[in-house]
Amino acid sequence: KQEVTQIPAALSVPEGENLVLNCSFTDSAIYNLQWFRQDPGKGLTSLLLIQSSQREQTSGRLNASLDKSSGRSTLYIAASQPGDSATYLCAVPNSGYSTLTFGKGTMLLVSP
């Protein structure tokens, strides 16, 4: 069964820094990978979906990369802002099952 690990579990940075969040998965036979954002007390918001045939996806200050062979994805946030403070989760489909496996998330705090 697919296992997803996110490192670090928590990250605190000053405003303006560029940062990288990491996601690793055990089964590389994936259709795609999704990055979500979760604000406290709220549901998840989809940020980026990378198809298995893609290596990168960009949206504004966010850039997600995917390396299937090594079982890794990174989410790069440029010029971080206090509004970026949230928990970021990655999710991959389980091979042979109609489900997503989510990582436990990285809790990001960007201080002014």
Partner 1 sequence: DAGVIQSPRHEVTEMGQEVTLRCKPISGHNSLFWYRQTMMRGLELLIYFNNNVPIDDSGMPEDRFSAKMPNASFSTLKIQPSEPRDSAVYFCASSLVSWLDTQYFGPGTRLTVL
**Residues near partner 1 (CB under 8 A):** 31-32, 34, 36, 42-46, 49, 89, 93, 97-100, 102-105
In contact, 64 and 15? CB cutoff 8 Å: no
> What are phi and psi for residue 111, nearest 5 degrees?
-95, 145
Q: Smallest distance, Å, CB 16 to partner 1? A: 30
Q: Give 3 or 15: the residue with its C-beta nearer to partner 1.
A: 3
- Does residue 82 sit in helix, strand or coil? helix
- Tokens 């259709």 — which residue? 31
Q: Give 49 or 62: the residue with its C-beta nearer to partner 1.
A: 49
Q: Give 80 or 87: the residue with its C-beta nearer to partner 1.
A: 87
Nearest to 48 by CA among 38, 61, 68, 34: 34
DSSP structural state of residue 99: -
Q: Smallest distance, Å, CB 87 to partner 1? A: 11
Q: Smallest distance, Å, CB 97 to partner 1? A: 7
Q: Smallest distance, Å, CB 91 to partner 1? A: 8
* The two structure tokens encoding residue 48: 């980026």
Q: Give 12 or 51: the residue with its C-beta nearer to partner 1.
A: 51
* The two structure tokens encoding residue 32: 């795609």
